[in-house]
Structure 1
């Protein structure tokens, strides 16, 4: 079964981390990327760089940045081919964002 892991960054600021902490975080993500069955996705820019599009009465309404202030912003994704949900949850618990004030949402892929 394939699962999409949506990685939500919390309120931990990268700039506030020491060099050693940054290296630990980078090593943690590299270990996840090196896990058999993982297909890492690209990382996204911060929510402040977003453009939000909605359609109302047939017209596109465009706003800069996120529509609302969020504590956890989607920062990246990965696909994991796992035997079951328990294996996907175990992998999600090893993703650095999950222990840095963020969260990892695990969803089965339809047809996956």
Structure 2
């Protein structure tokens, strides 16, 4: 599966309708974004069970602002409709592959229980 350009209108549906979503917030004028693009694209080809979305922050400024994007590229990961990771900066292929593996392995029920226990303390 290749990457998908999404807009503000499609963002919420994309996050809720897919098990795991990786979102690359990028801009055409951003050098690191242009370097990260092929890495992100290659990861999308190797992981057809994950939805890979690209959001152009210039065309979707309100979404970038709502997502708290302050630098590009910013990578956001959602699983079962919940944001589980967000970080600015381009990742090397190995780090992206590792992050994909961690997202796939994350047990959301166990993570929610751990968060509830942490809140109770």
- TM (norm. structure 1) is 0.31
More contact order relative to length (CA 8 Å, sep ≥ 6): 1
- Greater strand share, 1 or 2? 1
- Greater helix share, 1 or 2? 2
